[in-house]
Amino acid sequence: MATKSLLVTPTAWFTVKTSDVERQSKVFLNICTDDCIPEPPKRTDDTLNAVSTAAAETGEIVRRLAERMTKYRNMILEIVLDTADSQFSWNLSREIVFPNNMRSKGKLMPRQVTIPTSSSPILITPEFQEITEGGYYRMEIDVPKLDKNSYQRTMLDVEEMRVLLKSDSLYELDVVIDVKNGKGIAIDEASAKWHKNMGKIIIRAPLLA
């Protein structure tokens, strides 16, 4: 992933107090934000956006949140504590305290950070339907955003009991198929076709005897 170095002045959000278990010393962590940190890629479902992060080279950790809401605080803190442990060879206690009315411990100084210049796309898990009847199996995978260019960069692998689909920057599916015979499908006789007007990829195959 391409990166760039920027000089940022962190904006205080809140401070937590914990301790280094091995050194038995108090540790304050300033949780900050900065508008230069790129936002995470957008999701097309209701799953919480991933959090883009940039760690400062000293004790303060600069964070850009998908949403600045209290209900995400525990998730952010776990990321902060894990990053601090890894970066500084600490062993921080997960028992933390929020000092009253303290947004930062000490003055927040400008610092150089390395950030990604772009975010990798998050692939969509497409919906699909399975039908087994008359000795045949059919799977219909919904891919409404697939076009001619992305179709040319789509990989589809059909196995006896598994279907794998990956379309560049769009879809990803890895599923064990549900067949009533429990033996799978005859892959030598399987067929797959993209139906552009329907926005579907349809797989057909006879069931193994």
pLDDT digits (tens, 9 = 90+) for 54-104: 333 333 333 443 344 555 677 778 888 888 888 888 899 988 888 888 888
Are 192 and 202 a contacting pair, CB within 8 Å? yes
pTM (predicted TM-score): 0.46
Q: How many other C-beta atoms lie within 10 A of the C-beta of residue 165?
A: 25
Which pLDDT does position 57 carry in this prediction? 37
Residue 145 has pLDDT above 50, yes or no: yes
User: What is the mean pLDDT of the segment spanning 167-196?
Assistant: 87
Which pLDDT does position 48 carry in this prediction? 35
The pair of structure tokens assigned to 182 is 């429990």
Residues whose CB is less than 8 angstroms from the CB of residue 137 and which lie 6 or more positions away in sequence, other chains included? 130, 131, 177, 179, 185, 203, 204, 205, 206, 207
